Structure 1
Amino acid sequence: MKNKTLAAWLAFLGGPLGLHRFYLHGMGDMLGWLLPIPTALGLYGIQRVQQFGQDDHTSWMLIPLLGFTIAGCALRAILYGLMTPERWNARFNPSAAQEAPAGQTRWLTIGAIVVSLLLGTTVLMASIAFSFQRYFEYQIEEARKISQ
Structure 2
Amino acid sequence: MPLPSAPRHKNKTLTTFLATAFGSIGLHRFYLHGGRDRFGWLHILAIPLSLALMAARPDAPKLFTGLPFVLSALIACLEALVLGLTPDDKWDARYNAGSSKRSESHWILALILVLTVGLGAMGVIALLARSFDLLFTGGAFG
TM-score of the pair, normalised by structure 1: 0.75
What amino acid is aligned across from residue 66 of structure 1 in structure 2? F
Alignment correspondent of 2:124:
124
Once residues 47 and 125 of structure 2 are traced to their aligned partners in structure 1, the CA distance between those partners, rounded to angstroms, is 17
Once residues 124 and 60 of structure 1 are traced to their aligned partners in structure 2, the CA distance between those partners, rounded to angstroms, is 13
The reply to whether residue 89 of structure 1 matches residue 97 of structure 2 is no
Following superposition of structure 1 onto structure 2, how do residues 29-44 of structure 1 map, counting pairs within 5 Å? 29-42=37-50
Residues 11 and 77 of structure 1, relative CA distance in 2, 3 Å threshold: same
Once residues 19 and 131 of structure 1 are traced to their aligned partners in structure 2, the CA distance between those partners, rounded to angstroms, is 28
Query: What is the identity percentage for the equivalent residue pairs of Structure 1 and Structure 2?
Result: 32
The reply to whether residue 10 of structure 1 matches residue 9 of structure 2 is no
The reply to whether residue 112 of structure 1 matches residue 115 of structure 2 is no
Alignment correspondent of 1:70:
73
Is the CA contact 1:41–1:65 (under 8 Å) kept in the aligned structure 2? Answer: yes
The reply to whether residue 24 of structure 1 matches residue 32 of structure 2 is yes
Alignment correspondent of 2:4:
none
Once residues 80 and 10 of structure 1 are traced to their aligned partners in structure 2, the CA distance between those partners, rounded to angstroms, is 11
Residues 78 and 64 of structure 1, relative CA distance in 2, 3 Å threshold: same
Cα deviation, residue 136, structure 1: 2.4
Q: Normalized per residue, which structure has more helix?
A: 1
Once residues 57 and 115 of structure 1 are traced to their aligned partners in structure 2, the CA distance between those partners, rounded to angstroms, is 32
Q: How many residues end up aligned between the 2 structures? A: 128
**Structure 1 alignment gaps of length 5 or more:** 139-148
Cα deviation, residue 12, structure 1: 0.6
Deviates more, 1:10-19 or 1:28-37: 28-37
Is the CA contact 1:64–1:128 (under 8 Å) kept in the aligned structure 2? Answer: no
Cα deviation, residue 29, structure 1: 0.7
TM-score of the pair, normalised by structure 2: 0.78
